[in-house]
Amino acid sequence: MPILSVRHVTTYRYRQPVAFGEHRILFRPRDSYDQRLIAATLKITPEPSNLRWLHDVFGNCVAVASFTGRAAQLTFECAITLDHTPESAPVFPISAHAAYYPFGYSAEDIPDLSRAMERQYSDPRNEVDAWARAFVPAEGRIGTQDLLADMTRSVRRNFAYLARSEKGVQDPVTTLRLKRGSCRDFAVLMIEAVRALGMAARFVSGYLYNPRGDRNRHVGGGSTHAWVQVYLPGAGWIEFDPTNGIVGNRDLIRVAVARDPRQAVPLHGSFFGFPADDLGMTVNVQVDEIEPSPDVPGSPEPKLVR
């Protein structure tokens, strides 16, 4: 159960001082049984005139900042310490009726899962459907976890990761044809494929941990990361990271979940000025393993593990 430290800094720069509209910030991890939040701080420069917190429709913790005055730079810096419980080579306790695909959700679950089962992108030639069906044997049944793990690892093997600074998500048909994209693009492709198979899936935004001394283990670090959760009866919402072929929550720090990626943007806001004033944004995320102070067990006077 490593103790992890996350430092997330996002900076906007402008050609001249501008005014700022309201900004919504999704940096704070979700506290749960597999990741326990120990400490979290948020520093905003220039300091907002008002900062309030709320839980959105998915239970994500959102900070909303309002500003007065003008500045040529706006910085959001979040420092997080959490106890992370990874699942190594997980075998999930899926209910007997759902252990093999195809299966159906119960009448009790369907009303709450139905929106997470709806397709959101056009697929006029059924290309995403065909790709998803390729993981299902022509005859007989396949283990549900095996099917989802095969799909996750197929993206890692056969698609090229490409960091994109553009806003939004690439259409899943385009990702499938190009066989390249960002973590957001791969997550949306897998979500659409899983939904094509009749399962509920949702988008996850968070952070990726690369163990010290193993910096080439994963791709997509250094910024926010995205992956998928699929609802499996008996096991609940289970993580799948197609960018890195990860099954389960190993090295994944969950911040926000949403039905649509537009509902889980880490930072969203506006400024008042000329379009040419916008000099762009930089994002830096650093995740390290730390050890707690021996003076106060489990407490945060942590030091980096060397």
Residue 210 binned pLDDT confidence (cut-offs 50, 70, 90)? confident
Q: Are residues 185 and 133 in the same domain?
A: yes
% of the chain with per-residue pLDDT over 90: 83
pLDDT of residue 295 exceeding 60: no
Give the span between the Cα atoms of 256 and 91, in whole angstroms: 24
State the total domains in the chain: 2
- Asked if 117 and 175 sit in the same domain, the reply is yes
pLDDT surpassing 70 at residue 151 = yes
Question: 177 and 237 share a domain?
Answer: yes
Q: Which of 160-164, 270-274, 293-297 has the lowest mean pLDDT?
A: 293-297
With respect to residue 89, please indicate whether it lies within any of the assigned structural domains.
Answer: no
CATH number at 105 reads 3.10.620.30
**Does the pLDDT of residue 304 top 50, yes or no?**
no
Confidence (pLDDT) at 1? 66
pLDDT in tens, 131-149: 999 999 988 889 999 999 9
Whether residue 130 sits in one domain with residue 235: yes
Average pLDDT, the chain: 92
Residue 255 lies in a domain: no
| 167 and 24 together in one domain | no
CATH of the domain at 287: 2.60.40.2250
**Which of the pair, 86 or 234, is modelled with greater confidence?**
234
90, part of any domain: no
Q: Are residues 201 and 229 in the same domain?
A: yes
Structure tokens at 303: 């030091």
Residues 107 and 212 both lie in one domain:
yes
Give the distance, in angstroms, between the CA of residue 186 and the centroid of all CA atoms in the same chain. Answer: 11
Q: What is the pLDDT of residue 294?
A: 55
Residue 179 belongs to a domain: yes
Per-residue pLDDT band at 160 (split at 50, 70, 90): very high
Q: In what order do the strands lie in the sheet with 236-241?
A: 246-247, 236-241, 225-232, 201-208, 252-258
Specify the pairing of strand 50-55 against strand 61-66. Answer: antiparallel
pLDDT of residue 167: 76
Confidence of residue 163 (pLDDT cuts 50, 70, 90): confident
| Whole-number pLDDT of residue 292 | 62
Residues 106-121 have a mean pLDDT of 96
pLDDT in tens, 4-49: 999 999 999 999 999 999 999 999 999 999 999 999 999 999 999 9
Residues 6+ apart with CB under 8 A from 223: 163, 283, 284, 285
> Looking at the structure, do residues 164 and 235 belong to the same domain, yes or no?
yes
Whether residue 215 is predicted with pLDDT greater than 70 in this model: the reply is no
Q: Are both 128 and 210 inside the same structural domain? A: yes
Instruction: Please check whether residues 72 and 110 belong to one and the same domain.
Output: no
Residue 172 has pLDDT above 60, yes or no: yes
Same-domain status, 141 and 200? yes
Residue 120 has a pLDDT of: 94
- Burial class, 290, CB count within 10 angstroms (exposed 0-12 / middle 13-18 / buried 19+): middle
- Is residue 13 situated within a structural domain? yes
Q: Tell whether the model's pLDDT for residue 301 goes beyond 90.
A: no
Residues 110 and 74 in one domain: no
| Domain boundaries, position 222 | 96-250
Q: How many helices (H) and strands (E) does the chain have?
A: 5, 19
**What's the rounded mean pLDDT across residues 275-285?**
94
Looking at residues 211-237, what average pLDDT do you find? 86
Between CA 183 and CA 253 the distance in angstroms is: 14
